[in-house]
Amino acid sequence: MAHWYVHAIARVFAWTSPPEDVAPEVARAKLKQAIKRAPWLVGRPLPCRAVHDQALAGVPVRIYRPCDGVLPVVAYVHGGGWVEGDLDTHDVPCRMLAVHSQCVVVSVHYRRAPEHRFPAAVDDCSAVVRWLAANAADIGGDPRRLAVGGESAGGHLAAVVARRCRDLNLRAQLLIYPVVDLNRESDSYRRYATGHVLTAARMRAFIAAFVPEATQRHRPDVSPLLADDLSGLAPAYLASAPQDVLRDEGMAYAERLRTAGTAVHWEDTPGLLHGWVNMLGLPPARAAWIKAARWLGEQVQ
């Protein structure tokens, strides 16, 4: 059962979230505004040795270096339903990830839907990871110690990239309440349809914006849970929120990975709801993110 204050936050989300059919630029602006107005919830930005923006493989990224030296690298993909979210909305979690994993974090700002539909975001994230595998030394990283990660829609993209790029021998995949099945709805869509930050209706709208052609949603680059072959993938840290429409598909993906021979660390984070990576002002969320970051650091050292 989530803590009472998380339920209070969920009610605020229900009151203030824009309708599902709002224009994407309006939804993006509202998310940025909400994050800017709630530093007590989002958390404080940790200092890094260096932070700068540039483009890798033609894709905008923000690079976080926690300290000097040749460090492992993680390509991190922000959430936001493939529609919202950007480098600024996920600055706080990326800083904390860099500091507690002791990795160079490359935050990827992929092309967003509905202006750029599938496979644009997948292609952008794959291009960045392949650039890092060949050129990480150019940003002070070790290409032999490369990982991917993301949350929600970003977790989906990280999972797809981990499978697409298994030839790169990635060290780890960090998947936080990921979307892994866009073709069908698990029972958690019914159980947690409303009142838990991410509603079933909003998730359906995100999927329709990202992959409007329903006939494509069974493809493994859209629904990694449905891929025939999940062998040879990097060890996975997979965290769910106990009351989240995405919970059941995340659990199913963890089991598929285990069956395929992948080492899986599963966390069902008690007291938290969908979106907790952007709620690091809450002690349970901060503790969960630090735990995930340290696991990642251990995998790539």
Select which of 107, 126, 152, 188 is catalytic: 152
221 is catalytic: no
User: In the numeric block, which tokens belong to residue 134?
Assistant: 């060949």
244 is catalytic: yes
User: In the numeric block, which tokens belong to residue 61?
Assistant: 């990224």
Select which of 91, 142, 244, 248 is catalytic: 244
Neighbour tally for 138: CB within 10 Å: 11
Element of type H or E holding 187: none
Nearest CA to 53 among 106, 2, 104? 106
Element of type H or E holding 120: helix 120-135
CB 106 within 8 A of CB 129: no
| SS3 (DSSP) at 87 | coil
123 is catalytic: no
What value does the CA radius of gyration of the chain take, rounded to a whole number of Å?
17
Amino acid letter, residue 265: H
Amino acid letter, residue 42: V
108 phi, psi to nearest 5 deg: -100, 125
> Catalytic positions, please?
152, 244, 274
